[in-house]
Amino acid sequence: MTDDRFALDGRVAIVTGAGTGIGRASARLLAARGADVVLAARRVELLERTAAEVEALGRRALVVPTDVTEPAECEALVAATIEGLGRIDVLVNNAGGTATKPHEEWTVEEWRQVVDLNLASVWFCARPAAARMAEQGGGAIVNISSGASFLALPDVAPYGAAKAGVNSLTRSLAAAWTPRGVRVNAIACGAVRTEGYAESGRRRAIPDDAVRGPGNAMDRVGDPDEIAHTVLFFASDASSYCSGQTLWVNGGPRAPATT
């Protein structure tokens, strides 16, 4: 029998921001590959929708309403996972988001909210999860970053800074935890057709399928499922020799114009 290195049978995954978009798609795919899934976010009704989809695939789903900007709630999320499903093998730090507006319009409070949601949450969730993973012999953490971490996008400056921090934190945590069996990797997403992307476009009167930002050689917006398959790669044994990496999934670099 061929060894399926993408199989997740017997494993338990936490997915934050699991009610919509990339989080929802990732939860479904991880379940389809055999994992039981813990679903975390603030909007319970959306988590319950994802839970029904996970259970329809024959896997267990545990809904844990969580504000990932609060350290105590992140610790409670990990504790609820252990209590409800017995272990934790995968953590997908997907929760995030931003507003889009000129840099002079950002308030101090908005800066703090964006940094807490996109960067501090990774720190708050990863530390208690990694401690449990190390105790049981290993695990995988997948952090969802953004191409904004590499680009100069003035209308999302706090978000880009926070996601650049995620890339750096990914490397630092990998250096600390890989020797203990916990791999840490990140995915820097390009334009993806999520609820947040569509809402940002509506505010700016831009079509949902418009490619925003430079460098997309495919000239199309990605689907959440395409990011989910990259999550599966880093969550599974298919990436057993990868740690501390940030993979930019963005439709490919566009060649410069020539004359």
Residues forming the active site: 145, 159, 163
- Tokens 């298919």 correspond to what residue? 238
Residue keyed to tokens 């969730």: 125
Could you give the CA distance from residue 104 to residue 106 in angstroms, rounded to a whole number?
Answer: 6
Torsion of the alpha carbons at 74, 36, 187 and 257, rounded to the nearest 10: -140
**CA distance linking residue 169 with residue 166, whole number of Å:** 5
Kindly list the strands in the beta sheet with 90-93, ordered across the sheet, starting from the edge strand earlier in the chain: 61-65, 36-41, 12-16, 90-93, 139-146, 182-189, 246-249
CB–CB of 201/221 below 8 Å?
no
Q: Measure the CA–CA gap between 53 and 108, rounded to whole angstroms.
A: 39
